[in-house]
C-alpha cells in the first residue's frame, strides 16, 4: 500500500483520531468511575466525558485581544495535535509502517502537551496558572529523566529506535524493569494522584487551566484524554510482544491493544483513588532519590548487554 495512505489512515482512523477520541472519553470515564467505585459511589454515567466536551464547546469565552490572546488560544490546539500524532505513531497493527527513529518522535510528541501546559499557565497571566506551571515544570524535569532512561534502556537492549521492532521484541528482565519504570512515571505524566500537583484543585484552583473557558477548556480535556490513550497505548504495545505476529489477524491485535490499555488505565485510576496528593518537594525527591537509581541501573545494564554480550 502507498506509505502516505497508510500514514494518513494511522493518523486519522486507527489508532488515530477516529479511534482515539472515543477512547479518550472512555478512558476519562473509566478513571472517574474507578475513583467513584473506590469511594462507594455510583459515579458519572457512561457518556459523561462526551457531554462535558459538547457542553464546553457551546460555552462562550472571554474576549482575548491581541497576540497574547492568540497564543493563549493556540496552546490547547498544539497539545491536541501532538497527542493525536503520538497516538497515530503507536505500532498496533502488524506491518503498519513506521521508520527508524520513530520512537524518538513519539517521545517528543508525548512531551509536547506538558510543555504546552507550562506555556499556557504562564501566558494566561493568572497567579494560579503560574504556580501550576512552575510545579509542572519541576515535576517534568523529575519524571522525564526516569521515563527517558527507561525507554532508552529498552531501546538499547533491543538495538533499535524503531517502534515496530520494539513492539515485536521478546520480553526480557530488562524490558520488564523498563516497563515498571514507565508505569511509575505515568501518574506524573498524566497529572493524577499522587502527582496531581500542577492542577491541584483544592490548592491552586485549576492550575494552568484556571483562565481557560469553553471550547479552549474542551480542547485541554481532549488533549488530556489523548495523552491517556497515547501513554497507556505505549505501555500496552511494550507489554504484549507479537500481539499481531503470534495471532496473525489485525482485528485481534487491535482488540488485545484496547484490553491492555484499559487494564493500565484501571491500574492507574485505582492508584489515584487510593493515594493523596504529595507535596512538590516529596514528588521531586521521590523521582530523584528513589527511582533514578533503578533507571541508572537499567540503562547501565542495557549498555552492558549491548556492548559486551
Partner 1 sequence: MNLWKRLMCTARRKSPWLFHMNSGSCNGCDIEIIAALSPRYDAEQLGVLLQGSPRHADILVVTGPVTNKAVNAVKTVYDQVCGPKAVVAIGSCPATTNVFIDSRTLDGPLDKHLPVDVYVPGCPPRPDAIIAGVVKAAVLLAERGSDAPKPAIVIAGTAAEEVQP
| Smallest distance, partner 1 to C-beta of residue 208, A | 11
3-state secondary structure 158-223: HCCCCHHHHHCCCCCHHHHHHHHHHHHHHHHHCCCCCCCCCCCHHHHCCHHHCCCCHHHHHHHHHH
Q: Is 69 exposed, middle or buried (0-12, 13-18, 19+ CB in 10 A)?
A: middle
| Smallest distance, partner 1 to C-beta of residue 111, A | 26
**Measured distance CA(295)–CA(291) in Å, rounded:** 6
Q: Which is nearer to partner 1, 2 or 60 (CB)?
A: 60
Q: Which is nearer to partner 1, 23 or 204 (CB)?
A: 204
- Residue from 22, 43, 241, 254 that binds partner 1 (CB under 8 A)? 43
| Smallest distance, partner 1 to C-beta of residue 218, A | 11
Q: Which is nearer to partner 1, 48 or 160 (CB)?
A: 48
| Smallest distance, partner 1 to C-beta of residue 272, A | 15
| DSSP label of 124 | T
Residues 170-229 that bind partner 1 (CB under 8 A): 201-202, 204-206, 209-214, 217
Cell of 285: 525527591
**Alpha carbon of residue 89 to chain centroid:** 13
Q: Which is nearer to partner 1, 210 or 261 (CB)?
A: 210
Q: How many CB atoms lie within 10 A of CB 39?
A: 9
Cell of 152: 532508552
Q: Which is nearer to partner 1, 47 or 293 (CB)?
A: 47
Q: How many residues bind partner 1 (CB under 8 A)?
A: 35
| Smallest distance, partner 1 to C-beta of residue 262, A | 21
Residues 122-141 that bind partner 1 (CB under 8 A): 128
* Contact flag: residue 42 with partner 1 (CB under 8 A): yes
Number of helices and strands (H, E) in the chain? 13, 0
**Measured distance CA(51)–CA(155) in Å, rounded:** 40
Q: Which is nearer to partner 1, 61 or 172 (CB)?
A: 61
| Residues contributing to the site for partner 1 (CB under 8 A) | 32, 36, 39-45, 47-48, 50-52, 54-55, 57-62, 128, 201-202, 204-206, 209-214, 217
Amino acid at each position: 500500500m502507498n506509505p502516505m495512505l497508510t500514514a494518513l489512515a494511522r493518523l486519522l482512523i486507527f489508532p488515530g483520531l477516529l479511534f482515539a477520541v472515543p477512547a479518550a472519553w472512555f478512558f476519562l470515564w473509566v478513571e472517574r468511575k474507578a475513583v467513584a467505585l473506590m469511594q462507594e459511589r455510583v459515579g458519572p454515567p457512561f457518556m459523561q466525558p462526551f457531554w462535558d466536551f459538547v457542553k464546553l464547546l457551546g460555552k462562550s469565552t472571554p474576549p482575548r485581544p491581541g497576540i497574547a490572546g492568540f497564543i493563549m488560544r493556540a496552546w490547547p490546539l498544539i497539545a491536541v495535535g501532538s497527542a493525536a500524532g503520538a497516538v497515530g505513531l503507536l505500532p498496533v497493527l502488524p506491518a503498519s509502517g513506521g521508520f527508524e527513529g520513530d520512537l524518538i518522535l513519539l517521545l517528543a510528541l508525548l512531551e509536547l502537551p506538558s510543555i504546552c501546559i507550562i506555556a499556557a499557565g504562564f501566558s494566561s497571566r493568572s497567579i494560579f496558572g503560574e504556580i501550576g506551571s512552575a510545579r509542572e515544570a519541576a515535576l517534568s524535569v523529575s519524571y522525564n529523566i526516569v521515563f527517558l532512561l527507561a525507554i532508552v534502556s529498552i531501546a538499547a537492549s533491543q538495538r533499535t529506535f524503531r517502534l515496530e521492532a520494539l513492539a515485536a521484541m521478546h520480553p526480557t528482565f530488562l524490558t520488564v524493569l523498563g516497563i515498571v519504570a514507565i508505569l511509575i512515571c505515568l501518574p506524573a505524566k498524566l497529572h493524577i494522584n499522587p502527582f496531581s500537583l500542577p492542577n491541584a484543585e483544592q490548592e491552586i484552583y485549576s492550575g494552568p487551566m484556571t483562565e481557560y473557558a469553553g471550547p479552549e477548556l474542551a480542547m485541554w480535556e481532549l488533549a488530556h484524554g489523548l495523552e491517556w490513550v497515547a501513554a497507556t497505548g505505549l505501555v500496552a504495545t511494550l507489554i504484549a510482544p507479537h500481539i499481531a505476529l503470534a495471532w496473525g489477524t489485525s482485528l485481534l491485535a487491535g482488540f488485545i491493544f484496547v484490553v491492555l490499555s484499559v487494564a493500565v488505565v484501571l491500574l492507574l485510576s485505582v492508584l489515584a483513588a487510593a493515594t493523596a496528593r504529595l507535596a512538590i518537594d516529596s514528588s521531586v525527591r521521590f523521582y530523584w532519590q528513589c527511582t533514578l537509581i533503578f533507571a541508572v541501573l537499567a540503562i547501565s545494564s542495557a549498555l552492558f548487554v549491548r556492548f559486551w554480550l
